[in-house]
Chains A and B, each alone.
Chain A
Amino acid sequence: MLKHLAGLALAAGLFVAPLQAETPQPNPADWPAVLAEARGQTVYWNAWGGSTTTNEFIAWIGQRAAEDYGVTLTHVKLSNTADAVARVLAEQQAGLTSGGAVDLIWINGPNFAAMKEAGLLFGPFAEDLPNWQLVDVAGKPVQADFTVPTDGMESPWATAQVVFMYDSADMAPLADMRALLEWARANPGRFTYPQPPDFLGTTFLKQVLYEVVDDPSVLLAPVDQADYAAVTAPLWAYIEALTPHLWRQGRAYPETGTRQIQLLADDEVALAISFSPGEASAAIANGQLPASVRTFVPSGGSIGNASFVAIPFNASAKAGAMVVANLLLSPQAQARALDPAYLGYGTVLDMARLSPEDRALFDQIDLGIATLAPDQLGAALPEPHPSWMVQIETDWIARFGGGK
């Protein structure tokens, strides 16, 4: 009898699932055909799953996709976007040119640059989506992701801009990064930033760099076209000066942006960086932050970028993925994303291109107690070229991340 069991175990071990068949590529220019193909598909959207509000927003998109287009949307909750990139990469290496596990990725910046360069993306498709007509192409950073041209290989769905969250019970808003340094000197241990290579931590470094550099325009070209050492010298001087006054004297850092929010909630710090103007309001509404939290932006402006979705070259449900990307650009979805009661993310749409009814959706939204009005938020500074991010990150790790 044991023999049978051993045989059974072996059979299970050798069981091999059949490969999925090759499918022709859908053409986004022929939208009715895309809609027809998408009906009945299941789209696996690989997106960071660390935020309950984001997860619930994605679930809502899933409901809409199912009801309106017959597309089943499954949120693959990641702790790190690179996991999805790695999956596509592994599939490419194994020669899997269709039937891949990832249909749609929430992506931006370096991950996009890497996937685009490695030929891991499907497209162009973004500018053929019907709702692209509503996108604020001139006013929002939707055609370049960290200066890398999107070329229609990814579709925007939200904008983000750096703001600082502070506890108004403890402090007043600060004018700029120099004021932040002065304040930190006077209030040691009350500020920190997520540890690079966390993107928010690196964003803080870039925000400082923008304010201390002589000519910000060099940041928009690849790093090897500039005198890196000279350009970044003031940045490292600033960080050297700041570090001893950080939370835990800079001997430890929060791992992620959300850990940093927890520190703010616990009153361990009074000031924290955020990449979402509506995040503080959403967190207050949620009971995650005290009601005394407010936000400010540095007077010289702050870095802004957009979040995108991209489709891997070997995605199984490309048509369905495009339908979801288009749905994300619909006024209803964008208005819901903007509402801090749900998400608090900036819209990529141009209000002037919307119908009056659709515009009314946006006008109704209460942006929340801690959210700055669009005119207070000011213009977004463009993201530096990704090579800057990589180099600064590496340098920070070498200087501050390896222990003393």
Chain B
Amino acid sequence: MAAWGLRRAPGVVLAALALPVFAGLLGTLAPAFGLMAVFGQAQPGFAIFADLLAWAGFWPALWLSFKVGLVATALSLLLVVGLVAIWQGSRSFGLFRHALAPLLAVPHAAVAFGLVFLIAPSGWVVRLLSPWATGWQRPPDLLIVQDPGGWALIAGLVVKEVPFLLLMVLAALGQSDASRAMLMARSLGYARPMAWVLAVFPLVYRQIRLPVLVVLAFSMTVVDVALILGPSTPPVLAVQITRWMNDPDLSLRMLGAAGAVVQLLLVGMAIALWLLAERGVAMFGRRWAWAGHRRGPGPVGAALVLGGAMAVLGCVVLGLMVLALWSVSGLWSFPNLWPDTMGWGQWQRHVPAAIDSLWRSCAIAVAATVVALVLALTWLEAEARFAMPIGAGGVWLLYLPLLVPQIAFLPGVQTLMLLAGVQGGVLAVTLAHILFVFPYVFLVLSAPFRAWDARLGTMGRALGASPARVFWRLRLPMLLAPVLAAMAVGMAVSVGQYLPSLMIGGGRVSTLTTEAVALASGGDRRAIGVWALLQTALALAPFAVAVLLPGLWWRNRRGMRQG
């Protein structure tokens, strides 16, 4: 009986999650093709796409989204690969690794705000040098953030994605026989970085491909970071879609929906291009391996990677410091390096109001993550025990919510929930969060789960343990670290959700992030500082647990401590 239920679990999970995904997709597609009247009359056909093409910013916005996505992803991956290739195993790398958790916990928007105040013409870097070195009494009129080329946006995305990809690479390294492959390549005379790139990276990449594609899709669909750092004339496509969806003129929502369809196609194209480029790089790599290139990138290349990694770390840490400073500052005029006046006023003002939403955020995050974890574990355990009828391909469907801008995707989900009578409330919001949390939990968990030594399971069974006992007593405890990491990532994702909380909750479920985003729309940096730090603290807690607990729990078990 148990086997019967579990065998069908992946199908059930898929169906349960696919329904809202399809509803969301339908909610995007139907208005775009004029099949559903959003407001006023609807005419089936492609008329809305003609309107979309008529927008002067259409092609520039398309190109911008494409470029930002591909460049940010490639740059992040390059930095991560370079970093690990050059540094893995050294002491400073260990330090960097421990800094990862806090880096991952900082909300995207907070990183973006911090970055703005670092590099803007009135930012800290300029203040540090003004007026004594630059002679500037006033901020120079330089277009640094919101540049038309989108480079500030790319920088912001790289800063945020490098820690994520690094976490994924490190997790993958634990599962592949990396150290022996390294040793082998080095004994054949290959310099460390070269050995890593040619011998280890191909093994690792197979495991991180999905995370990389998620990063690519995210970079193309992100709205909050693009609003803060990205250009606005025109903006990236996702931002423009959001503007249309938010316009008082309700008929523009159909334009927004059409834009979302184009966005989906664009992400699809970018993924296709990326997969094509993968082949090219693989061919190039094989040619290198064939030719026997053994030399490393040399000191200049190493310094570049080192510099890049330090810049990433520095941006997040300094950005957080600046947010902390803002949260206690009064007036802070240019070119003063420190606030003119300081005080705890902002904290006293906001913290009492925040406590309530803090608990709610916490409860939703825990509930959504636990459900997502149970679904992911059920799926993976079923996959391990039975030949899978659906296979890994089914998982792709569940990543769809990450590929469409939320503003275009959620109206469909909202309508489905309203029709089903699931109205507002913490429960509905939690259900909606699961849609976005599950893909990340699955992402973090699946590789270590699948890489678990199956002989341990056979041994357990041969000792008379049932499959359930093998799962609960052997597999799950041994996967404590990845399970906690998946939970931490899942909770951070849940804590960071804005639109699902607002739209599905009907505004009645206030979370730390709905409050923070509402305040951020006012641009009061001092309030933003307080709320961003609170958000970071909330997301940081599970990361700290994920990093520290396995070490403490298994402090007397050397075999449970990996590299």
Contacts and interface: CB of A to CB of B under 8 A. Distances in A.
A289 B510 CA distance: 30
A256 B521 CA distance: 8
Nearest to B143: A248
Interface string A159-175: 00000000000000000
Interface string A233-260: 0000000000000011111111110110
**Tier of interface size on chain A:** 35 or more
Contacts of A15: 422, 427
Given A89-B250, A262-B523, A255 B227 contact: yes
Interface in B1-54: 1-2, 5-6, 9, 12-13, 16, 38-39
Nearest to A19: B421
A246 to B, nearest CB: 10
Interface stretch (A92-100, A149-157, A334-342, A358-366): A92-100
B533 interface: no
A261 B525 CA distance: 11
B374 A9 contact: yes
B507 A2 contact: no
B122 A268 contact: yes
Contacts of B515: 49, 77
Contacts of A102: 506-507
Nearest to B8: A6
B428 A17 contact: yes
Given A12-B371, A402-B233, A267 B148 contact: no
A278 interface: no
B518 A287 contact: no
B341 A403 contact: no
B331 A288 contact: yes
A261 to B, nearest CB: 7
Interface in B522-548: 522-527
Contact of A118 (B9, B39, B55, B120): B39
B248 A109 contact: yes
Nearest to B468: A1
A3 B243 CA distance: 45
A402 B423 CA distance: 39
A250 B141 CA distance: 11
A33 interface: no
B310 interface: no
Contact of A50 (B138, B146, B374, B520): B520
A82 B248 contact: yes
A31 B526 CA distance: 43
Nearest to B7: A3
A13 interface: yes
Contacts of B82: none
B6 A6 contact: yes
A201 to B, nearest CB: 11
A228 to B, nearest CB: 17
A79 B524 CA distance: 13
The interface centre, meaning the residue of B349, B414, B508 with most chain A CB atoms within 10 A of its CB, is B508
Contact of B249 (A89, A114, A252, A258): A114
B333 to A, nearest CB: 6
Interface string B249-272: 110010000000000000000000
Contacts of A101: 423-424, 505-508
Interface string A89-124: 111011110011110000001110110001000000
17 contacts: A3-B2, A16-B421, A49-B515, A52-B350, A52-B519, A52-B524, A55-B353, A77-B515, A79-B517, A79-B520, A82-B246, A110-B249, A114-B250, A252-B232, A258-B521, A268-B138, A402-B233
Which 9 pairs of residues, A with B, have the shortest CB-CB distance?
A50-B522, A101-B506, A49-B518, A402-B57, A402-B56, A189-B141, A94-B418, A110-B248, A77-B518
